[in-house]
Structure 1
Amino acid sequence: MPMQTIDKDQYQALRQGATVLAADAYGDKVLELRSGQLMKLFRRKRLFSSALFYPYSRRFVANVQRLSGLNIPTVSELSEYRIPSISRSAVKYKPLSGDSLEALIRQRRFDRQRIEQFAIFLAKLHRLGVYFRSVHLGNVVATPDNRLGLIDVADMKFYRRRLSASRCARNMRHVCRYREHVAALFPAGRRGWFLDSYLQALQLNDRQRRRYEAVISRQLDQHLVAAHQ
């Protein structure tokens, strides 16, 4: 998909009437446009970095395409822009319909079935070699047809085979980034609902399962102790 360069006036026309959904000290990060589409803006954080040649917007688009090829629900209808007047690149897209798992926690709709569904979904990602650094419950969406999908997918790697036990465990750190997410995934410190579903969905032989279970359990134990202190 080609990147379109737009000037200041074209950008202002695009964002006219938009709602700012996320911003930081450097400016707007996510806009909801009048059309209902979202626009995610990316800045290069360092003067010399790989983003100079391969912008974050391009990574976002490439990751969406890879996920779609793996039949994993994600955002759609993408357009990519370079906006020199504000030193940004951007992606405009149709958001993924549904509620984030984080929203379901707030709505008290995150139960054992959802825990096991998320565990199976995460195992599918790992089995397919998808390492999503931002894989916390705010970036996983339950769609109207009861599937799970991903948003905010700029920071992601794809491997040719199932992730190693150590890499899966490392990804669990991102899953357990927030205390309220840990409490929801492991109610009363209970690991079995999540861990048993996750390990079964990884499709391991007995030896592999023992290895993965040991490595991942050590990682989870650290977060469970911290969450319940």
Structure 2
Amino acid sequence: MRIVTANELQNWLTNGQVLEQDSRGPKVVRLDNGNFLKIFHSRKALLSRWRPKARRFARNAERLQALGIPTPEVLECCWLEQQRATSVCLYSPLQGVPLDSIFSEQREQFDRDLPNFVAFIRQLHRKGIYFRSLHLGNVLKLPNGGFGLIDFLDLSFKGAPLSRNLIKRNFAHLRNYLERRQVENFPWSRLTECYERGLSEEA
């Protein structure tokens, strides 16, 4: 992993658009060339140096793509010069619209897409993908009508279809997200019914 100089980072921040940040600074930046910069801050410097989050993000992208799940294309993983425990990824964005935008702006379209979204979740579970950060902002509807994932650092591969317990926990994460965001009128019953019906049809 190469080292990004302070000047290079400042140039990216000056000419790009910060899309997401927290108390530690920018987290996601759209660069002027259309690529994205994702910055992985860490409070555990030694662990971050040994297992950089940027590299884990890139490996997750590769494994998801190998399993047929669309993701952004990672171009490079780097360290920041003045923050040696902070790793970054440069990636080409996945083209699509986040489901939270469709839900809030095109509710009828979201309702039509719901069975296919549920089928996508079942696909993840069948492939042994446990995505703890599964929520509407991390799933894109693609131009071809399919779905893809973004922001998938918090993800693990189980090597076998998820157990009922893990499925239940995964849906609990999604429901907690909806409650924290105070999402109103989400068709939760229909979502779980579609999921169970799909399981019965596959049996």
| Shared fold per TM-score greater than 0.5 | yes
Residues 65-124 of structure 1 deviation map (CA, whole Å, 9 limit, x = unaligned): 011001111111421111131342100111111111100011124443211111111111
Root mean square deviation of aligned Cα: 1.9
Residues 66, 200 of structure 1: CA spacing in aligned structure 2 closer, same or farther, 3 A cutoff? farther
The Cα of 1:162 is off from its aligned counterpart by 0.5
Name the residue aligned to 2:193.
196
Q: 2:75 aligns with which of 71, 75, 78?
A: 78
The one-character-per-residue Cα deviations of 1:37-79 (angstroms, maximum 9, x if unpaired) are 1100011222443x33111111100010011001111111421
Q: How many residues align?
A: 197
- Report the CA distance shift for 1:67/1:201 in structure 2 as closer, same or farther (over 3 A): farther
How many angstroms does 1:160 deviate by? 0.8
Which residue of 2 is the match for residue 215 of structure 1?
Answer: none
Does residue 183 (structure 1) correspond to residue 180 (structure 2)? The answer is no
Letter in 2 for 1:178: L
Q: CA deviation at 1:200?
A: 4.2
Supply the AA of the counterpart residue of 1:93.
Y
Q: Distance in 1 between matches of 2:49 and 2:74?
A: 25
2:99/2:139 contact within 8 Å kept: yes
Match of 2:142 in 1: 143
Shift of 1:5: 1.9
Q: Which sections of structure 1, spanning at least 5 residues, go unmatched?
A: 206-229
1:8, CA displacement in angstroms?
A: 1.6
What corresponds to 2:161 in structure 1? 162
| One-letter identity of the residue aligned with 2:73 | S
Whole-angstrom CA distance in 1 between matches of 2:7 and 2:110 = 48
Shift in alpha-carbon separation, 1:31–1:116, aligned structure 2, 3 A = same
3-state SS of 2:144 partner: coil
- Kindly state the Cα deviation for residue 204 of structure 1 after the two structures are TM-superposed: 5.3
Partner residue of 2:52 out of 46, 52, 55: 55
Structure 2 residue runs of 5 or longer lacking an equivalent are none
Distance 2:129 2:183 in 1: 21
Offset at 1:182? 6.8
* Runs (4+) off by over 4 Å: none
Contact 2:96 2:142 in 1 (8 A): yes
* Aligned twin of 1:216: none
CA contact under 8 A between 1:124 and 1:201: conserved in structure 2?
no
Note if 1:92 corresponds to 2:73: no
1:110-145 deviation line (CA, Å, top 9, x unaligned): 443211111111111011000111110011000111
Q: Which residue number in structure 2 is paired with residue 224 of structure 1?
A: none
Match of 1:39 in 2: 37
CA distance in 2, matches of 1:12, 1:62: 27
What is the deviation of 1:197? 2.6
Structure 2 residue 121 is matched with structure 1 residue 122: yes
Give the deviation of 1:33 after TM superposition.
0.4
Give 1 or 2: higher strand fraction. Answer: 2
* Residues 56 and 182 (structure 1), Cα distance of their counterparts in 2 relative to 1, 3 Å cut: farther
- Contact 1:44 1:52 (C-alpha < 8 Å) held by counterparts: no
For residue 119 of structure 1, what is the amino acid of its counterpart?
V
Q: Which amino acid aligns with 2:133?
A: S
